[in-house]
Amino acid sequence: MMSMRLFFGIALDRADSEQVQQWSRAALGHLPKAVPARNYHLTLAFMGELPQGHLEQALAGAAALPFSPFSLTLDSFGQWPRSGISFLAPSQPPAPLLALATALQQLSCDLGGFCDKRRYQPHLTLARAQHQPLVPRLAPPALTLSVTGFDLFHSDQGRYLSVANFG
């Protein structure tokens, strides 16, 4: 049986992606393992490899969740030394974002997907495997995103393809 690498996330529109990419290039310079702008997103819940048969259950479960649009502001830069991930994040994650992530992580667990017991840390990955400390030349962009929905993504050879949009 085929399996799919799935995750729930919030996609950025083209204008927001371009703004993040411009800031990253100006503030951090060339990053060898930079995430392409087309892949910018905030992960809500990583499901991992799931049999394709579980896809319908994931879609139905996500569609059943209550969702109301909200805003969040990416106004903080960070880096995790062990993974080498550099990122933008909201310094004040809004309650609706945290509630949505919690519900989707529980759905992942219920369907036999990845169960993440760590505290959810919303972030937009800018680059991976960046083990030298980065000091941005510019303040973070304070980019406010209007979140009108979320997607179930299929990760396929480095491309993130939306399977469905909710909201």
pLDDT at 123 exceeding the cut of 70: yes
Q: Domain residue spans in the chain?
A: 3-166
Which neighbouring-strand residues pair with 144?
Answer: 73
Please give the pLDDT value at position 151.
Answer: 98
Summarised one tens digit per residue, pLDDT across range 35-74 is 999 999 999 999 999 888 889 999 999 999 999 999 999 9
Do strands 150-156 and 3-11 pair parallel, antiparallel, or not at all (unpaired)?
antiparallel
Q: What is the pTM of this model?
A: 0.93
pLDDT at 119 exceeding the cut of 60: yes
User: Does the domain made of 3-166 have the CATH classification 1.10.630.10?
Assistant: no
The burial of 56, by beta-carbon neighbours within 10 Å (0-12 exposed, 13-18 middle, 19 or more buried), is given as: exposed
